[in-house]
């Protein structure tokens, strides 16, 4: 396995670069999968709130029509008119100015037998009278949707409201039983009022809401049916996401429980746009801040760790090269590197002392070896008395010479041959030999 040599400085730079990349990857993932989806969710919620405001404004138009219809239906003059129609009531109330002032296009008054006592329908622009399917001139069928009131003991609560789909566009429609002014019965017929959802009404609602919306009618068959299917598959609301706009679609149901029209409420994608700008700005700030912090960290590491270690490295290299054990490294620090420098100086001092001692020992050993070599050379010795001549020309006794030039010393004794030669004629010597023989 090949080991790649990398300096400590390079390793620290790699680590710092890895930290920088890791922090920014984590921040990117947080932005991408946590923060940005929150902006999108908020934007969709605001788009839904915008749709609700538009629908509430449309519902308010229907509520206003309910108030007008209720005032007219719970009025004794209307009650009396149904019993006995007269020109005075018609001239006072059922004139064209009534339609234009209340901005309603349809009024029908029926008696208890569903016979039309009075009825008129204007086109959406009040330019002429028109006829609409479902609104007969003379008589309404018993099962007519506008006559199917919910059964309740409170006559004031009897009402039928909704949307009627016509060839002239969606029509807000309200029908109430005709009662006396104190809302008491018996019921004396039915009052029906209607109001077209015209472009003028839509523009007025837009100005009230402060947001644009569009009505998609069944006349736009291709688009209407396409969106209708998507609404049905998304619990009544469908959001179409565009690059610059969110379009929220919701259906309005007619009085026959069919979709009368679809409201399209566009909402500009400013929240996500501003969110992206904010995240981009914060990412830039994050990158710059992280870079500055890591540069400061690199500077501090370089000053407190890398530089002192480089000094120690140069110090050891110089000692190895020059064998100068008397120089010292100067690092004034109370941290681990300072302690290391102090211990290294102490170690070098110990090495210097040991080197001095070793040098002296080697010199002494060399001298001793030299002396031992002298004894191994040719030594002049007297053939008669066995004295040895030294380098200075003096003759020394053999024992004295060897003790001088070696670590040997002598103790004197006598060998058996010499003892026999010296003492063989003495009786005590013969007796002593016999005793030794017996011991052996």
Q: What is the pLDDT of residues 291-305, one digit of tens each?
A: 999 999 989 888 888
pLDDT band at 372 (very low <50, low <70, confident <90, very high): low
Note whether 171 and 306 are same-domain residues: no
- Strand 116-121 and strand 106-110: pairing? antiparallel
Tell me the residue range of the domain where 430 lies.
388-434
- Cα(176)–Cα(159) distance, rounded to whole angstroms? 5
Position 72 in a domain: yes
**CA-closest candidate to residue 124, choices 224, 61, 191, 194:** 194
Tokens 């008395």 -> residue: 385
pLDDT at 196: 96
240: confidence class by pLDDT, cuts 50, 70, 90: very high
Domain shared by 75 and 164, yes or no: yes
Mean pLDDT (whole number) for 397-425 = 75
List the single range of 34-48, 304-318, 387-401 with lowest mean pLDDT.
387-401
Report the mean per-residue pLDDT for the chain.
87
Does one domain contain both 62 and 197?
Answer: yes
Same domain for 207 and 127:
yes
* Same-domain status, 322 and 219: no
**Per 3-state DSSP, what percentage of the chain is helix, strand, and coil (rounded to 5)?**
55, 15, 30
Residues 365 and 396 in one domain: no
Spatial strand order in the sheet of 259-268: 214-216, 259-268, 245-253, 237-241
CATH, residue 181? 3.30.450.220
Whether residue 195 is found in the same domain as residue 319:
no
Is the residue at 440 inside a domain?
no
Higher pLDDT: 152 or 193? It is 193
Asked whether residue 327 carries a pLDDT value surpassing 70, the answer given is yes
Q: What is the pLDDT of residue 1?
A: 47
Residues 188, 87 share a domain: yes
pLDDT of residue 417: 79
Q: In which band, very low, low, confident or very high, does the pLDDT at 74 lie, cut at 50, 70 and 90?
A: very high
Over 80: is that where the pLDDT of 401 sits?
no
* 75-95 tens-digit pLDDT: 999 999 999 999 999 999 999
Instruction: Classify residue 288: in a domain, yes or no.
Output: no
What total of structural domains would you count in the chain? 3
> Is residue 118 within 8 Å of residue 90, measured between CB atoms?
yes
Query: Does residue 20 share a domain with residue 65?
Result: yes
Residue 375 banded pLDDT, cuts 50, 70, 90: low
Quick check: 247 and 216 in contact, CB under 8 A?
A: no
Q: Is residue 377 part of a domain?
A: no
- Residues 313 and 203 grouped into a single domain: no
Task: Judge whether 291 lies within some domain.
Answer: no
Percent of the chain with pLDDT over 90: 52
Which of 74-83, 104-113, 182-191, 332-341 shows the lowest per-residue confidence on average (mean pLDDT)? 332-341
pLDDT of 2 higher than 70:
no
Is residue 228 located within the same domain as residue 79? yes
Domain shared by 118 and 55, yes or no: yes
Domain boundary among 370, 397, 417: 370
Residue 376 within a domain: no
193 occurs within a structural domain: yes
- 382 found inside a domain: no
Domain boundary residue, one of 370, 399, 416: 370
């Amino acid at each position: 396995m090949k080991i790649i040599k990398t300096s400590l400085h390079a390793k620290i730079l790699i680590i710092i670069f890895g930290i920088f990349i890791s922090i920014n990857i984590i921040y990117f993932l947080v932005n991408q999968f946590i923060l940005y989806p929150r902006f999108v969710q908020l934007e969709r919620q605001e788009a839904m709130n915008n749709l609700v405001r538009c629908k509430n404004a449309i519902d308010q138009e229907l509520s206003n029509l309910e108030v007008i219809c209720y005032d007219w239906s719970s009025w004794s003059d209307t009650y009396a008119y149904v019993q006995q129609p007269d020109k005075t009531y018609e001239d006072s109330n059922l004139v064209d100015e009534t339609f234009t002032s209340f901005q309603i296009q349809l009024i029908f008054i029926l008696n208890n037998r569903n016979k039309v006592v009075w009825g008129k329908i204007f086109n959406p622009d009040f330019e002429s009278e028109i006829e609409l399917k479902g609104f007969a001139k003379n008589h309404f069928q018993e099962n007519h949707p506008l006559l199917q009131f919910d059964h309740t003991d409170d006559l004031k609560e009897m009402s039928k409201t909704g949307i009627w789909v016509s060839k002239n566009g969606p029509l807000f429609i309200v029908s109430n039983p005709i009662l006396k002014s104190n809302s008491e019965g018996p019921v004396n017929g039915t009052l029906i009022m209607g109001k077209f959802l015209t472009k003028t009404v839509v523009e007025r609602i837009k100005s009230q809401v402060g947001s644009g919306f569009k009505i998609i009618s069944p006349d736009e068959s291709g688009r209407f049916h396409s969106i209708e299917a998507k609404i049905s598959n998304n619990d009544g609301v469908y959001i179409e996401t565009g690059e610059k706009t969110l379009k929220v679609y919701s259906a309005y149901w007619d009085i026959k429980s069919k979709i009368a029209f679809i409201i399209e409420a566009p909402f500009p994608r400013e929240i996500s746009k501003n969110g992206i700008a904010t995240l981009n700005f914060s990412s830039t700030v994050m990158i710059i801040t992280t870079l500055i912090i890591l540069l400061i960290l690199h500077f501090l590491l370089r000053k407190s760790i890398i530089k002192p270690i480089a000094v120690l490295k140069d110090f050891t290299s110089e000692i190895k090269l020059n064998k100068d054990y008397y120089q010292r490294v100067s690092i004034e620090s109370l941290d681990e590197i300072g302690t290391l420098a102090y211990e290294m100086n102490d170690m070098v001092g110990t090495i210097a002392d040991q080197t001095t001692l070793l040098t002296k020992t080697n010199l002494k050993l060399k001298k001793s070896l030299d002396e031992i070599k002298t004894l191994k050379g040719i030594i002049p010795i007297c053939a008669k008395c066995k004295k040895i001549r030294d380098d200075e020309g003096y003759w020394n006794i053999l024992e004295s010479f060897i003790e001088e030039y070696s670590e040997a010393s002598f103790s004197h004794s006598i060998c058996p041959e010499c003892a026999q030669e010296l003492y063989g004629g003495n009786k005590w010597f013969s007796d002593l030999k016999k005793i030794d023989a017996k011991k052996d």
